[in-house]
């Protein structure tokens, strides 16, 4: 395609990039290059398993997402639950971004319940300008243009609520987005139910039974929450059809990246 772009979704943990999974799937279907990068290795997020065995399990789960979607997954070997914004972490993130060379980065906002999420966002912001500076991390060639950076949607209100600049109907991608989450057995059916205090005996055993539980119980009507949250913006974009959008994702422009014009935004997100 003539205007092929490269998009990099950066999450703190395996299963965080899927927050922008609908957008990623739409871009992938149009022939764009979409890749996922995870800042931590997942070594801590489980109540029974730990260490190297858990890291390998998370790697296998992310590889299943790649096999399902065709979206490559990359993982930095930084500790889950211990991510900081020091120079070694910044340089590791910078080299990974430069190697992938994206036109667009999508990541967390710097206001979030999880320190790994916040620090992933700060690392991306700290890299933004320096990606073009040759003498910073000189072993990797600098980028000639700063990527445009966007935040994924969330519901946190303080200190600053999410403010959508772009909204998207992902109703057609919703089932596949859930299939992406479904690949993370260790998260969806073990760790997150346990840490949320659910009765673990209520989680089904079979693969499709688990997926139906994920779809109808774990997500349920919560999956329609963003469509309701962004209803005004959806109707502004899609007209009356926006009232019938069931599932949505949104992006907020980060002022530290390159600021695309309205015309470029229409090219970068042509749906």
Per-residue pLDDT tens digits for 91-101? 999 999 999 99
Alpha carbon of residue 69 to chain centroid: 14
Write the pLDDT tens digit of every residue in 185-207.
999 999 999 999 999 999 999 99
Is residue 75 pLDDT above 90, yes or no? yes
pLDDT at 28: 98
Task: Kindly provide the b/e burial profile for residues 230-250, where b requires at least 16 CB atoms within 10 angstroms of the residue's own CB.
Answer: beebbbebeeeebeebebbbb
Percent of the chain with pLDDT over 70: 99
The conformation of residue 39, written as its DSSP 8-state character, comes to S
pLDDT at 223: 73
Place of tokens 């992406």: 180
Instruction: Identify which of 118, 119, 74, 73 has the alpha carbon closest to the alpha carbon of residue 95.
Output: 74
The pLDDT confidence band at residue 249, using thresholds 50, 70 and 90, is: very high
Q: Is the pTM above the cut of 0.95?
A: yes
pLDDT at 2: 59
CATH superfamily ID and name for 6-169+250-268: LmbE-like (3.40.50.10320)
The rounded distance, in Å, linking the Cα atoms of 173 and 73 is 19
Please, are residues 65 and 37 in contact by the beta-carbon 8 Å criterion? no
Task: Kindly provide the b/e burial profile for residues 145-165, where b requires at least 16 CB atoms within 10 angstroms of the residue's own CB.
Answer: ebbbbbbbbbeeeeeeebebe
Using CA of residue 121, residue 257, residue 102, residue 98, what is the dihedral sign?
negative
| Rounded (5°) CA angle 246-211-44 | 105
Mean pLDDT confidence for 248-259: 96
Is residue 138 pLDDT above 90, yes or no? yes
Is residue 171 pLDDT above 80, yes or no? yes
Instruction: Identify which of 157, 142, 92 has the alpha carbon closest to the alpha carbon of residue 119.
Output: 92
Percent of the chain with pLDDT over 90: 96
Is residue 1 pLDDT above 60, yes or no? no
Q: What are phi and psi of 36, to 5 degrees?
A: -115, 140
Write the pLDDT tens digit of every residue in 28-48.
999 999 999 999 999 999 999
Average pLDDT, the chain: 96
Q: Return the minimum-mean-pLDDT range out of 1-10, 147-156, 198-207, 251-260.
A: 1-10
pLDDT at 86: 97
């Amino acid at each position: 395609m003539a205007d092929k772009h490269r998009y990099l979704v950066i999450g703190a943990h395996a299963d965080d990039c899927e927050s922008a999974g609908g957008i990623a799937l739409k871009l992938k279907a149009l022939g764009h290059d979409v890749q996922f990068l995870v800042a931590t290795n997942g070594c801590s997020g489980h109540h029974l398993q730990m260490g190297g065995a858990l890291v390998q399990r998370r790697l296998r789960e992310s590889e299943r997402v790649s096999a399902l979607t065709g979206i490559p997954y990359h993982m930095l070997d930084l500790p889950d639950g211990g991510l900081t914004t020091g120079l070694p972490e910044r340089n590791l993130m910078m080299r990974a971004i430069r190697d992938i060379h994206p036109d667009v980065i999508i990541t967390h906002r710097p206001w979030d319940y999880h320190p790994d999420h916040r620090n992933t966002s700060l690392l991306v912001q700290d890299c933004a300008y320096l990606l073009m500076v040759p003498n910073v991390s000189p072993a990797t060639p600098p980028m000639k243009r700063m990527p445009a950076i966007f935040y994924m949607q969330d519901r946190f209100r303080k200190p600053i609520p999410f403010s959508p600049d772009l909204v998207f109907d992902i109703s057609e991608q919703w089932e596949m987005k859930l299939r992406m989450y479904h690949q993370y057995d260790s998260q969806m059916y073990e760790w997150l139910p346990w840490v949320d205090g659910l009765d673990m005996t209520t989680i089904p055993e079979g693969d499709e039974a688990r997926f139906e539980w994920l779809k109808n119980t774990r997500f349920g009507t919560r999956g329609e929450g963003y469509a309701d949250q962004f209803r005004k913006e959806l109707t502004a974009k899609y007209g009356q059809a926006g009232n019938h959008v069931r599932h949505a994702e949104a992006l907020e422009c980060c002022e530290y990246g390159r600021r695309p014009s309205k015309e470029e935004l229409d090219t970068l997100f042509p749906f």
